[in-house]
Structure 1
Amino acid sequence: MKPYAQLPTDNPEEFMRTVGLSKEGFHVLNDKLTAYIATQKALNPLTMRGRKDTKLVLEDRLLLTLYYLRHYPTLINLGAIFDISESYCHKIYTRTARMIAKVEKLPNRKTLLEDSTTTLAIDVSEQPIERPVKNQKAYYSGKKRHTIKAQLVICVLTLTILSVVMGKGQQHDFLVFKNNRLLLHSGALLLADSGYQGIHKHHQNSTLPVKKKKGQPLSAEDKAHNKALAKRRIYIEHVNRRCKVFRIVKDVYRGKHKNYSLTWRLVAALVNLRYDGI
């Protein structure tokens, strides 16, 4: 892998496919990290002394982190790509990822309480994981594999990801919603799928598809309602696809489960940045 300074700049599509962000988005994120590091040095000058990480400059550390999120290689392969050791590669990724989470955040949860006219869509993305050593039953999905879940809430108008919360594979989608106590403005319209039966008790202004009952076919009116709802909810499927361009939330997740929330918040923030006109 070439250092960032030597990457080709004449092919924006190739840069996007390699890094997961446009070159402009990369520079925006790099500038935010530079400002954050300068602020931390000013606030804590004594803690910044000692040995310096001179192997990779900030642009290369950011490139490494984005490349890992985008392609999800093993750390030993990632270290070989950037010509550094596996342990140093892990150190750089961990530090840079946590800095990105501080400078590129999702909207505050209070945002969901402020707008009464917005239309929101909610859905759960399920990802396979390696079989856990402990507490396997909690992660065992009905799809006969161990999984972990991420619940996304988006604004249908802007396709901005507003919230991401986690759940275990055995949990029902609606249970993930209830456990995380997502607060919404009472006037906001929430579009959900059939996995959220009962959500009206928690948010009255919700729309669900009509489920077919045994021996009772759906009426033409119910079919028209379901079709119209599917057309409005399709946008959250598009956002899910945008997120899964970053292979770390698509392939079998190999990391620690306690870091899964951070991983999804990183990916969601990067997707918002990528499609924010940058």
Structure 2
Amino acid sequence: MRLFPLEEESSLSSLYGSKSKLDFILMYLKENPNQYYHGEMFDMSQSKVSEWVSYLLPVLEASLAKMKVMPQSGYCYRQRDKEVDYLLVDVTERQVVRDVDPDNQKEFYSGKKKLHTMKNLAITDQDGYIEFISESYMGSVHDKVIWDQIEIKMKDHNLLADLGFAGIEKNCPNAILPFKKPHNKELTQLQKQVNKAIGSARIRVEHAFSGVKRLKIIRNKIRLKTYQVRDRVFKIAAAL
């Protein structure tokens, strides 16, 4: 995959050739290094690392889109013409640096994780292939609120979700959620078996998130600060 035409590039470039650029940006995503350290690896200054990261991320995103491996994204999901048994939906969170602004701190604070995070909703098939990634949301936003802001156009396939999406069955008749334990009562044996079956099937979406989090820039705290860059990095990670 050629990221930069050699004939338009000076041989004095700090990253000459497509291979060096691809090595640079993939290693950055995989290891999530301090930019000063990454600069030492590639014999350049920290500021030059920042410049290359800013330039190469959109180039990599465009290249992955051209290769048709980017999942759908945005605020509308249209199921593709692909044979599937069922679909799964879940939300994943990743840690971000705490904002200096107190109001922003509250927006990014996730009560579930007890950390400052960003969230993305994902829809996968039964094999764990990520079909759709939502826009990124601040950690304080509830999973169901994210769902409500997305237009879902599905065929007649079942959609497995967890109790964080309670209520989606009202506008998504094919949604299947586990039974919630009644107050001061116990679930029946049949309900427990149904919940176990749903949990066994839903492990696929967790495996999908685990695959994305092989990149340390997703698994660990991301130090890149702008919303656009954080959002782009997650979509690139999903494609990779």
- On whether the aligned pair clears a TM of 0.5, the verdict is yes
Instruction: Say which of 195, 205, 221 aligns to 1:226.
Output: 195
Q: What is the identity percentage for the equivalent residue pairs of Structure 1 and Structure 2?
A: 28
**Distance between the aligned counterparts of 2:97 and 2:183, measured in 1?**
37
Match of residue 79 from structure 2: 113
Alignment partner of 2:123: what SS?
strand
Verify: 1:89 aligned to 2:49, yes or no.
Answer: yes
Q: d(CA) in 2 for partners of 1:149 and 1:58?
A: 32
Q: Which moved more, 1:129-138 or 1:204-213?
A: 129-138
Q: Does 1:68 align with 2:28?
A: yes
TM-score (norm 2): 0.86
Higher share in helix:
1
Question: Do structure 1's residue 237 and structure 2's residue 206 form an aligned pair?
Answer: yes
Q: How many residues align?
A: 227
Instruction: Specify the code of the residue in structure 2 equivalent to 1:113.
Output: Q
When residues 107 and 150 of structure 1 are mapped into structure 2, their CA distance, relative to the original with a 3 A threshold, is: closer
2:90 and 2:205 map into 1 onto residues whose CA distance is 7
1:144 aligns with one of 106, 110, 114: 114
SS of the residue corresponding to residue 227 of structure 1 reads: helix
The CA distance in 2 between the partners of 1:238 and 1:113, in whole Å, is 21
**Kept in 2: contact 1:79–1:85 (CA 8 A):** yes
Instruction: Give the aligned CA root-mean-square deviation in angstroms.
Output: 2.2
Tell me if structure 1 keeps the 8 A contact 2:71–2:239: no
User: Residues 117 and 218 from structure 1, CA distance in 2 versus in 1: closer, same or farther, beyond 3 angstroms?
Assistant: farther
1:40-59 to 2 correspondences below 5 Å: 54-56=13-15, 57-59=17-19
Verify: 1:253 aligned to 2:222, yes or no.
Answer: yes
Contact 2:77 2:132 in 1 (8 A): no
- 1:1-278, aligned counterparts within 5 Å? 30-31=1-2, 33=3, 37=5, 54-56=13-15, 57-105=17-65, 106-108=70-72, 112-115=78-81, 118=84, 119-134=86-101, 135-142=104-111, 143-157=113-127, 159-165=128-134, 166-179=136-149, 181-256=150-225, 257-270=227-240
Conserved 8 A contact 1:115-1:185: no
Contact 2:88 2:202 in 1 (8 A): yes
Letter in 1 for 2:93: E
Is there any run of 5+ residues in structure 2 with no aligned partner, and where? Answer: none
Q: Which amino acid aligns with 1:54?
A: S
How far off is 1:89 after superposition?
Answer: 1.4
Contact residue 162 and residue 178 of structure 2 kept, 8 A: yes
1:174 and 1:156 map into 2 onto residues whose CA distance is 22
State the Cα distance separating 1:108 from its structure 2 match: 4.1
Give the drift of 1:258. Answer: 2.8
After superposition, give the CA deviation of every residue in 1:62-105 in whole Å (9 maximum; x if it has no partner). 10100010000111110011111112112222222111111213
Closer, same or farther: CA 252–107 of 1 in aligned 2, 3 Å: closer
Could you tell me how far apart the structure 1 residues matched to 2:81 and 2:157 are?
7
Which structure shows the bigger proportion of residues in strand conformation?
2
Structure 1, unmatched stretches of 5+, are: 1-29, 42-47, 271-278
